[in-house]
Amino acid sequence: MQLNDPITAVKGIGEKTAEAFCAAGIYTVNGLLHYFPRNYETMPEMVQIREISRPGRYTVRARILTPAAVFRSRGKAALSFRIGDGSGQLKVSIFGMPYLKKQIYPGRECIFSGNCSFKGTEALMSQPKFLTDEEYAQLQNRLQPVYPLRGELTNQRLRKALTEALPAAEEIREYLPEDILENEHLLPIPKAIRLMHFPERMEEVYAARKRLAFDEFFLFLARMELLKQGPEKEISGYVYPIADTEAAVQEFLAKLPYPLTGAQERTIRQIRQDMASGFCMNRLVQGDVGSGKTIVAFTAALVAVCHGAQAALMAPTEVLAAQHYSDILRMSAEYGLPFTPVLLSGSLKAKEKREAKERIRSGEANFLIGTHALIQEDVEAKDLALIITDEQHRFGVRQRIDLARKGAQPHVLVMSATPIPRTLGLILYGDLDVSLIDELPAKRLPIKNTVVDGSYRTKLYQFILKRISEGRQAYIICPMVEEGEEGTAGLANVVDYTEELRAKFPPQIRIDMLHGRMKPKEKNEVMQRFAEGGTDLLISTTVVEVGVNVPNATVMMVENAERFGLAQLHQLRGRVGRGEWQSYCMFVAGEEDKKMSKRTQERLHILNETNDGFRIAEEDLKQRGPGDFFGLRQSGLPYFKIADIYTDAELLKRVKAVVERICRNEPERVRELREELKAREQMDYVDFHGICL
């Protein structure tokens, strides 16, 4: 069995079973080995049913009391039955596994272990394991990895496949010199992979994860080091002296209904100096949510367009791209700007796409706005001088390069609203010049924040309804999509929360839900409806973190706030406070005892105290401990699968030193790595191991 073999090469995985793995994004043996747990659990001590008084994971010995009833839940077949142990009864639900019906019959006694939640006073157990006494004894003192599951994929099926696939990890060769392994206390890669899946103690998990995080940082920083000899050092084909467009820029800025902040003016000046320098601009504009980065980007585009060239803006979502397009059309009409924009996104009809691409090819359209559809091979720009990308594409090196190739050494401008601790900014953005917009517009009202426990929920609902009655809109953020995954008992999920509030709130309140498992078209329709005022309350996961601008949305409530990083909570908060009305953000800690722990209070208090994203990022860096990576994904930075710049800040600095040493002292090794990166520009750390450097 080889690393790059298809998943069907693993013993026990046929074509049908492979579909479950592919649905989770696992296509190869290597992909399986790198599908890591999101948590680890130990088997809970056995209790009686009457002792179950709060949400959590429990183990009971009980007898099945009723046959399994089959029902449909969100399009999936589900089973429901009751169990009892003499002290009480539990209702049990199993989703997506109708084939278990034959094993569920009255009178059968076994050990059930699963997540319990409550509906009213009734306890419900979901997705339990059925265990014999022998199996329970084996699991009691052993760490159990808990994987992110999709569709019909189960933890049991994953563990069985991983047992078969593990020998293939030995194929991965070491790429680091022996002295670095020793000095940095790093495990061999095959051992790290084995211990991530089959650890005996948490210390082994920490050591394994450190090695894998090291590799992910190494790949990222090595690519950055090699990029330093890339576009930003090249002679640009587009040299625009400041004096040539001074009148047009000043006329545009003077027509805006608000004055620019000093930080915006400084950033525009830096951008124009870059575009006049004769070299390719490669600049990051980093500013807090609502700081006015978009106007800065439009001003840069104006410079290119005034010289008869084209500019492109790549947004992370279709809804946001459509909003940028609408803004440019409106501003061009109001202010007499020379923009002829075109919108290109995946949801356009075939005829509309053809027409858009022809306008881009002919040069008729001078401002290209869209999603990743802009980088498709058949999109040919006539004279592309400036590329503006959203932060989600900052580390998508392949997309950035593909778009840059559509021009003759064009300028590159990257916008980011993610607050990065200044101590890490130089490392993460080492290949870019950085402009910081650290002022908010003068008329922007500061968001009012509150941090409470779950006992305040009813009052918060009343507050939301009052704001909606005044014509405003609101968000409620949940950490989970739906109930059922192991280790998530007691966490709010979008699907059930939406059903609950539709039943609880007055029927005239228009409630919608949004999450990452929805089809792109469906997600776009939901966001568009909310943006246009067709929805009063949007219940969502963090997919709204980088979203559309809805000035009328003035309230955000975040459930299980303790499960997110401070920087991500701040990003979410940035969805409100974008209009003329006072906005509010309520962080609800959903801890089991309904009272916040001292640590949660300390962490969330900083959000109550300040709206400064950069200060919050620094606090996040200080407060988060080495165990935080076992919660839900806490960082507002979606660029790393294993590593986290907050939890692993010190490791990041050490990897930076290692990369610089290798680049300085081992030119042959660097040459090999450069060739691999050129050949596979979209390489992630999974591929990084797979090519056996």
When mean pLDDT is compared across 70-74, 134-138, 196-200, 235-239, the lowest value belongs to 70-74
Q: How confident is the model at residue 348 (pLDDT cuts 50, 70, 90)?
A: confident
- Among 141, 174, 197, give the residue marking a domain's end: 141
Query: What are 431-458's pLDDT values in tens digits?
Result: 677 888 877 777 778 889 888 888 889 9
Q: What is the 3-state secondary structure (H, E, C) of 524-579?
A: HHHHHHHHCCCCCEEEECHHHCCCCCCCCEEEEEECCHHHCCHHHHHHHHCCCCCC
Query: Residue 54: what pLDDT?
Result: 82
Whether pLDDT at 422 is above 70: no
When mean pLDDT is compared across 117-126, 414-423, 602-611, the lowest value belongs to 414-423
pTM exceeds cut of 0.75 = no
Look-up: residue for tokens 């722990």? 597
- Among 610, 636, 665, give the residue marking a domain's end: 610
Whether pLDDT at 591 is above 60: no
Contact 644, 634 (CB under 8 A): yes
Residue 317 sits in a domain of what CATH number?
Answer: 3.40.50.300
Number of domains, the chain: 4
Query: What are 318-338's pLDDT values in tens digits?
Result: 878 888 898 899 999 999 999
Say which residue, 475 or 146, is predicted with more confidence.
475
- Among 558, 580, 610, give the residue marking a domain's end: 610
Query: What are 206-235's pLDDT values in tens digits?
Result: 999 999 989 888 887 877 776 555 444 578
Query: What are 150-206's pLDDT values in tens digits?
Result: 777 888 889 899 999 999 998 888 888 888 899 999 999 999 999 999 998 888 999
Q: How confident is the model at residue 53 (pLDDT cuts 50, 70, 90)?
A: confident
The answer to whether residue 148 sits within a structural domain is: no
The answer to whether residue 491 sits within a structural domain is: yes
323 and 407, same domain (yes or no): yes
529 and 566, same domain (yes or no): yes
247 and 374, same domain (yes or no): yes
The answer to whether residue 620 sits within a structural domain is: no
Q: How many CB atoms lie within 10 A of CB 77?
A: 15
Query: What are 551-570's pLDDT values in tens digits?
Result: 899 999 999 888 887 877 88
Query: Residue 630: what pLDDT?
Result: 32
Whether pLDDT at 666 is above 60: yes
Query: 601 lies in which domain range?
Result: 448-610
First to last CA, the chain: 19
425 and 456, same domain (yes or no): no
Q: What mean pLDDT comes out for the span 585-607?
A: 73
The answer to whether residue 641 sits within a structural domain is: no
Query: Residue 633: what pLDDT?
Result: 35
Report which of 40, 42, 49 is spatially closest to residue 125, judged by C-alpha positions.
Answer: 49
Say which residue, 93 or 230, is predicted with more confidence.
93
91 and 106, same domain (yes or no): yes
Strands 76-84, 56-64: pairing is antiparallel
CA 629 – CA 460 distance, rounded (Å): 30
97 and 126, same domain (yes or no): yes
112 and 182, same domain (yes or no): no
120 and 62, same domain (yes or no): yes
Residue 52 sits in a domain of what CATH number?
Answer: 2.40.50.140
When mean pLDDT is compared across 21-30, 80-89, 413-422, 563-572, the lowest value belongs to 413-422
92 and 69, same domain (yes or no): yes
Query: What are 349-403's pLDDT values in tens digits?
Result: 889 889 999 999 999 999 999 887 777 778 888 889 998 987 654 444 445 555 5
The answer to whether residue 56 sits within a structural domain is: yes
Express as a percent the part of the chain with pLDDT over 90. Answer: 32
Sign of CA dihedral 478, 481, 482, 485: negative
432 and 456, same domain (yes or no): no
The answer to whether residue 156 sits within a structural domain is: no
209 and 250, same domain (yes or no): no
The answer to whether residue 655 sits within a structural domain is: yes
121 and 177, same domain (yes or no): no
Say which residue, 296 or 444, is predicted with more confidence.
296
Q: What mean pLDDT comes out for the span 533-551?
A: 84
The answer to whether residue 631 sits within a structural domain is: no
